[in-house]
Amino acid sequence: MKNRSYIVHLAGVIAMVFWGMSFVWSTQVYQNLNPTATIFLRLVVATVFFTAILFTFRLNEKVKKEHLGLFALAAMFEPFLYFIFEGYGLKNTSPVIGSAIIAMIPLVTPIAARIFLKERLTPMNIVGFIVSFVGVIVMLLNKDLEFTASPKGILFLSGAVLVAVGYSIALIKLTKLYKPLTITWVQNIIGMLYFAPMVLVMERFEPSNFANVVGYIVPLVCLGVFCSAVAYALWAFAFSKLGASRANVYSNLIPVFTAIFSYLLAIEEMTAFKIIGILVVVIGLVLSQLKTKKAATE
């Protein structure tokens, strides 16, 4: 079956394609809805899709009552707080810059793991963090060396990174109890409960918005099905076969795909600073992941 190992790698790449495109689809939906309503409806679509898949193929697991508190905590981190920070961050900045900042999650995670889980922080982790941080700064500059991104947007996206790191720490216990698909399914349901009150208070739906099928409905369904459901399923498959260190390398591709899609869809220009910044971010992430892989085998 070794000749079919490419399927695992292909699954990882496709997941990154969808997640890279999610920044573009989110930007399109935000022209009609606030981030809270977008995220809520995205979770609804993903939950319906996941429920159909899990029960059709009998992949569902029974969740014990004593674990609901742990699920609630994890769901508070993600999808609730993470999507709020990411959503309002993207609303105040561009898809490429947003994906570049979010791409620092796998770099910051080892630092949190060193603090909370006493895991080893290698010199290459530190080098990779510094290199990628420099790359993000470069992407935020224009030809006059002035920042092109909104400080508000950067602040929200930085919050998303920190929340995602917190979620990754909380997720460790859940992964020892349930399958990844079950964890995501339950978190989506709890996440909808978190978002529902906010949507009722903050969002005002207008009939005219629902008529904008191409600009609103289609990207929203794509976010729910491809990004919150299919991409995670593919990622879970690649993760289970490659392990955390090898699989995390694929997340380096997210800002690359976002930049390509934004350029092809004429949403955002591909400047020299963005190209250089993307390359530096990816180099920093790869340096960190390559060292992590080596350390994992020792």
pLDDT tens, 192-225? 999 999 888 876 666 555 566 666 788 999 999 9
How far is Cα 273 from Cα 256, in angstroms, rounded to an integer?
A: 14
Angle, helices 68-75/180-202, rounded to nearest 10 degrees: 60
Q: Name residue 147's beta-bridge partners.
A: 141
Residue 271: is it exposed, middle or buried by C-beta count within 10 angstroms (0-12/13-18/19+)? middle
Can you say whether the dihedral through the CA atoms of 23, 24, 27, 32 is positive or negative?
negative
Q: Tokens at residue 65, please?
A: 């009552």
What average pLDDT score do residues 114-126 get?
A: 69
What average pLDDT score do residues 108-115 get?
A: 71
What average pLDDT score do residues 243-253 get?
A: 64
What average pLDDT score do residues 32-41 get?
A: 85
pLDDT at 10 exceeding the cut of 60:
yes
How far is Cα 164 from Cα 107, in angstroms, rounded to an integer?
A: 11
Q: Which of 43-47, 73-77, 183-187, 215-219 is least confident?
A: 215-219
Confidence category of residue 77, pLDDT binned at 50, 70, 90: very high
pLDDT at position 211, please?
61
Tokens 């490419």 sit at which residue? 6
What average pLDDT score do residues 166-186 get?
A: 81
The residue type found at 82 is Y
pLDDT at position 292, please?
47
Confidence category of residue 190, pLDDT binned at 50, 70, 90: very high
The answer to whether the beta carbons of residues 120 and 202 sit under 8 Å apart is no
pLDDT at 82 exceeding the cut of 70:
yes
What is the residue-averaged pLDDT of the chain? 79
pLDDT at 119 exceeding the cut of 70:
no
pLDDT at position 248, please?
62
Dihedrals phi, psi of 62, to nearest 5 degrees? -80, 125
pLDDT at position 294, please?
47
Full-prediction pTM beyond 0.85?
no
Identify which has the larger pLDDT, 101 or 2: 101
pLDDT at 183 exceeding the cut of 80:
yes
pLDDT at position 298, please?
47
pLDDT at 76 exceeding the cut of 90:
yes
pLDDT at 18 exceeding the cut of 80:
yes
pLDDT at 71 exceeding the cut of 90:
yes
Most confident of the ranges 25-39, 138-152, 166-180, 276-290:
25-39
pLDDT at position 124, please?
74
pLDDT at position 117, please?
62
